[in-house]
């Protein structure tokens, strides 16, 4: 019963591992073959990656997948959930509160992405005719809103927009006191006011990016455009805009992502109010999941935000490639 | 094209104006925080009299002596963990050869575009039900922040290691050094500027992180970070403008000081295409 043949027949895995051990032993004696060293190297590659995946998989990837999974259920966070199919996604259209949050988000994209990029492009193209020297100190100041915690930004602007705050005092001082109002408490003006905070927070970043990009455009291109008799606008279209393609991709990705998931700023500045006038999808995720007991609905909103950010990033990166790169890819 | 004097004057005037607008609200907050008067300040004016009263009042009411320590523990923990494991993985992705390398790298890059909103719900509920020993601890916040920030860390360190001259590595490998020795003895020194930039950025992002500590530490206010505590404090008091300004100054001071020293690193890092949360 204990003869080697029987053991082999009963436990193939033991045999395989014994054979493997013998192989390894032989290789060691061969002073490590090339294949063995390649194996050692690829194994150490995985060892170097192990710590990253040990954190990234359980704390980012699995929650991401689990969010998508939860979005297909009705769940209050306590009792067992029930299967809901795509009902939570249909509610994004049919529930006016949810639908309007996405509309608000689209409005914020204009203020967070379109306005800062357009403003920075305009300023930088005016400057491009005089190559910028000594931009260092300006860069430091323009970049400051990126450093300050968003909570602090929100507090500063709540004060600026307050009924007795600096903005209304300024309006009164220049005889436009009739326009003064509680900006963040006004159903019409609260969302644009939040948008203005985003524009303020992001235009400096865009300017710093574009000024850096501008330094890399060869002067000869501007000289050539001038020789061809190009006016400022033609020069902008032919030289500046294509020259800043890479920087536009970075600026677009950063600002749109900031607009679509802008939880901190809205949470502190207005908490979605007045009413739901400034409620954005991020805020809904928080509210539905952690105070309203609508976890499935919150998960559907979260999954949609992720899908939007992912799709927008892909589209911008695609169009940000040079035409040659695009052809090679297609 | 030689730029004429008026052109240059216009450029500097525009830069000056827009730099001024960018810092104005922040300067106003600092001035308000140092103002001696108790009443809400309407405009931007020099503090008369200069006083630290609002600062000490905010310090006591918003419990900053405890929340700043929490913030420091979480930010330092996240920075050490994120930078260490990013250096290891960035090195592997750039230098070592192994099957599935590109696929795994692409998987890590997905983390650059994962919004916190799409991971926070299961993170909260699953930790409470399957790993309750982690709920409400510094550890869970450090792990979640590391998870989300490591994508940038790996992306950043891989870009650095990929630019290292191959001959440097080959020479060491021929001498029989294993991959870890090559990293430690040969590459760590030239990598220091890139690592320093990463340290500075991760610390900043972790310090300013909002949604993750807000949710994950909701049940244990004694561990809550300074920015989140300030936001919760804001919800309670809206009339005490100098107090709020003082709180803002206290929360922003560490990163502002860091910015004064490391502004070059901050700007270079963020401009590389980092996706800030």
pLDDT tens, per residue, chain B with 277 residues:
445 566 778 888 889 999 999 999 999 888 888 876 655 455 555 556 677 888 888 888 778 889 999 999 999 999 999 999 999 999 999 998 889 999 999 999 999 999 999 999 999 999 988 888 999 999 999 999 999 999 999 999 999 999 888 888 888 777 777 888 888 888 888 899 999 999 999 999 999 999 999 999 998 999 999 999 999 887 766 667 888 899 999 999 999 999 999 988 888 887 765 443 3
The CATH code that applies to domain A87-329 is 1.10.3720.10
Compute φ and ψ for A73, nearest 5 degrees. -125, 155
Residue A104: the pLDDT is: 96
DSSP states of A264-316 as a string? HHHHHHTTT-STTTT--HHHHHHHHHHTS--HHHHHHHHHHHHHHHHHHHHHH
**pTM exceeding 0.95:** no
Establish if B219 touches chain A: CB-CB under 8 angstroms.
no
B55 in a domain, yes or no? no
Contact criterion met (CB < 8 Å) for A59 and B92: no
**DSSP three-state, residue A83:** strand
| Cα dihedral value A304, A307, A308, A309, nearest 10 | 120
DSSP A321: S
A interface test, pick of B121, B126, B234 with most A CB neighbours within 10 Å: B121
Q: What angle do CA B229, B233, B236 make, to 5 degrees?
A: 150
pLDDT tens sequence across A256-296: 988 988 899 999 999 998 999 999 999 999 999 999 999 99
Integer Cα distance of B206 and B144 in angstroms: 10
Contact criterion met (CB < 8 Å) for A267 and B231: yes
Do A195 and A107 form a contact (C-beta atoms < 8 A)?
yes
A131: enclosing H helix or E strand: none
- Residue B195: Cβ within 10 Å count: 19
Domain ranges of chain A: 87-329
Ranges of residues in chain A whose predicted pLDDT is under 50: 1-32, 329-330
Compute φ and ψ for A278, nearest 5 degrees. -120, 20
Residue A17: the pLDDT is: 45
Residue B47: the pLDDT is: 59
From chain A, pick out residues whose CB is under 8 angstroms from the CB of B211: 263-264, 282, 286
B interface test, pick of A81, A156, A253 with most B CB neighbours within 10 Å: A156
From chain A, pick out residues whose CB is under 8 angstroms from the CB of B227: 149-152
Contact criterion met (CB < 8 Å) for B85 and A52: yes
Q: Would you state the structure tokens that stand for residue A75, as one six-digit string? A: 């769940």
Distances in Å between the alpha carbon of B232 and those of A286, B214, B237, B257? 15, 9, 9, 24
From chain A, pick out residues whose CB is under 8 angstroms from the CB of B43: 166, 169-170
Residue B236: the pLDDT is: 63
Smallest Cβ distance to A49: which of B44, B104, B118? B104
Give me the CATH number covering residue B177: 1.10.3720.10
Smallest Cβ distance to B88: which of A48, A60, A257? A48
Q: What residue numbers bound the domain in which B138 lies?
A: 62-271
Residue B54 φ/ψ region, left for φ over 0, alpha for ψ in the -120 to 50 degree band, beta for the rest: alpha
Contact criterion met (CB < 8 Å) for B259 and A147: yes
B143 in a domain, yes or no? yes
Establish if A208 touches chain B: CB-CB under 8 angstroms.
yes
Establish if A271 touches chain B: CB-CB under 8 angstroms.
yes
B235 in a domain, yes or no? yes
Residue of A nearest to B177 (CA): A41
A73: enclosing H helix or E strand: strand A73-74
Residue of A nearest to B260 (CA): A140
Integer Cα distance of A313 and A254 in angstroms: 9
Contact criterion met (CB < 8 Å) for B117 and A305: yes
Structurally, chain B folds into a number of domains equal to 1
Contact criterion met (CB < 8 Å) for A59 and B123: yes
From chain B, pick out residues whose CB is under 8 angstroms from the CB of A309: 113, 115
Residue of B nearest to A137 (CA): B19
Measured between CA atoms, how close is A96 to chain B, in angstroms? 21
Residue of A nearest to B250 (CA): A152
Compute φ and ψ for B219, nearest 5 degrees. -85, -10
Contact criterion met (CB < 8 Å) for B88 and A150: no
List of E strands, A117-176: none
Residues near B105 by beta carbon (within 8 Å), at least 6 away in sequence? B93, B154, B158
Residue B36: the pLDDT is: 60
Distances in Å between the alpha carbon of B123 and those of A58, A61, A71? 9, 11, 14
**DSSP three-state, residue B230:** helix
From chain A, pick out residues whose CB is under 8 angstroms from the CB of B7: 129-130
Give the bridge partners for A83, in sequence order: A73
A interface test, pick of B26, B75, B99, B117 with most A CB neighbours within 10 Å: B117
ipTM: 0.90
Which pairs from A32-38 meet CB under 8 Å and 24+ separation?
A: A38/B97
From chain B, pick out residues whose CB is under 8 angstroms from the CB of A46: 98
Integer Cα distance of A204 and A222 in angstroms: 25
Establish if A314 touches chain B: CB-CB under 8 angstroms.
no
Q: How many CA atoms lie within 13 A of A92 on its CB side?
A: 20
From chain A, pick out residues whose CB is under 8 angstroms from the CB of B147: 55-56, 58-60
Residues near A45 by beta carbon (within 8 Å), at least 6 away in sequence? B92, B96, B97, B98, B101, B179
Residue B11: the pLDDT is: 84
B186 in a domain, yes or no? yes
């Amino acid at each position: 019963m204990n003869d080697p043949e029987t053991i082999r027949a009963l436990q193939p895995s033991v045999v395989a591992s014994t054979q493997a051990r013998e192989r390894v032993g032989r290789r060691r004696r061969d002073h490590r073959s090339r294949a063995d060293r390649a194996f050692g190297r690829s194994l150490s590659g995985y060892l170097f990656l192990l710590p990253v995946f040990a954190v990234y998989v359980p704390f980012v990837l699995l929650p991401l997948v689990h969010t998508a999974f939860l979005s297909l259920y009705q769940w209050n966070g306590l009792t067992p959930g029930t299967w809901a199919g795509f009902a939570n996604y249909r509610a994004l259209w049919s529930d006016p509160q949810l639908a309007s949050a996405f509309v608000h988000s689209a409005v914020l994209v204009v203020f967070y992405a379109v306005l800062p990029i357009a403003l920075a492009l305009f300023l930088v193209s005016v400057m491009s005719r005089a190559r910028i020297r000594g931009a260092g100190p300006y860069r430091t100041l323009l970049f400051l809103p990126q450093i300050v915690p968003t909570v602090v930004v929100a507090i500063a602007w709540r004060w600026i927009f307050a009924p007795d705050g600096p903005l209304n005092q300024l309006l009164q001082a220049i005889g436009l006191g009739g326009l003064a109002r509680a900006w963040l408490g006004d159903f019409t003006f609260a969302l644009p006011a939040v948008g203005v905070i985003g524009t303020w927070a992001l235009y400096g970043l865009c300017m710093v990016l574009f000024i850096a990009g501008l330094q890399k455009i060869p002067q000869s291109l501007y000289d050539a455009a001038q020789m061809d008799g190009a006016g400022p606008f033609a020069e902008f279209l032919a030289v500046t805009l294509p020259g800043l393609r890479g920087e536009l991709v970075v600026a677009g990705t950063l600002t749109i992502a900031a607009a679509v998931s802008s939880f901190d700023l809205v949470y502190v500045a207005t908490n979605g109010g007045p009413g739901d006038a400034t409620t954005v999808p991020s805020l809904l995720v928080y509210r539905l999941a952690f105070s309203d007991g609508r976890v499935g609905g919150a998960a559907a909103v979260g999954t949609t935000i992720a899908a939007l950010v992912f799709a927008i990033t892909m589209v911008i990166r695609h169009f940000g490639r040079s035409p040659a790169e695009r052809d090679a890819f297609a | 094209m030689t730029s004429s004097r008026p052109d240059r004057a216009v450029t500097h005037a525009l830069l000056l104006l827009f730099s001024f607008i960018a810092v104005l609200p922040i300067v106003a907050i600092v001035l308000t925080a140092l103002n001696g008067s108790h009443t809400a300040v309407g405009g931007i004016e020099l503090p008369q009299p200069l006083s630290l009263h609002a600062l000490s009042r905010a310090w006591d009411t918003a419990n900053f002596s405890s929340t700043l320590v929490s913030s420091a523990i979480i930010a330092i923990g996240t920075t050490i963990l994120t930078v260490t494991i990013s250096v290891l993985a960035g090195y592997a992705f750039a230098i070592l050869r192994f099957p599935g390398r590109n696929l795994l790298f692409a998987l890590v890059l997905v983390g650059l575009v994962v919004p916190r909103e799409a991971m926070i719900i299961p993170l909260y509920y699953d930790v409470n039900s399957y790993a309750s020993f982690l709920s409400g601890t510094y550890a869970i916040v450090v792990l979640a922040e590391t998870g989300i920030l490591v994508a940038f860390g790996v992306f950043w360190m891989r870009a650095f290691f990929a630019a290292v001259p191959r001959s440097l590595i080959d020479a060491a490998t021929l001498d029989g050094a294993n991959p870890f020795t090559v990293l430690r003895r040969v590459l760590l020194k030239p990598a220091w500027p890139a690592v320093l930039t990463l340290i500075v950025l991760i610390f900043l992002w972790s310090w300013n992180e909002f949604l993750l500590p807000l949710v994950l530490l909701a049940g244990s206010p004694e561990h809550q970070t300074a920015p989140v505590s300030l936001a919760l404090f804001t919800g309670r008091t809206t009339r005490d403008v100098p107090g709020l300004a003082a709180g803002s100054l206290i929360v922003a001071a560490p990163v502002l000081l860091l910015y004064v020293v490391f502004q070059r690193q901050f700007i270079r890092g963020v401009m590389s295409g980092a996706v800030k949360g």
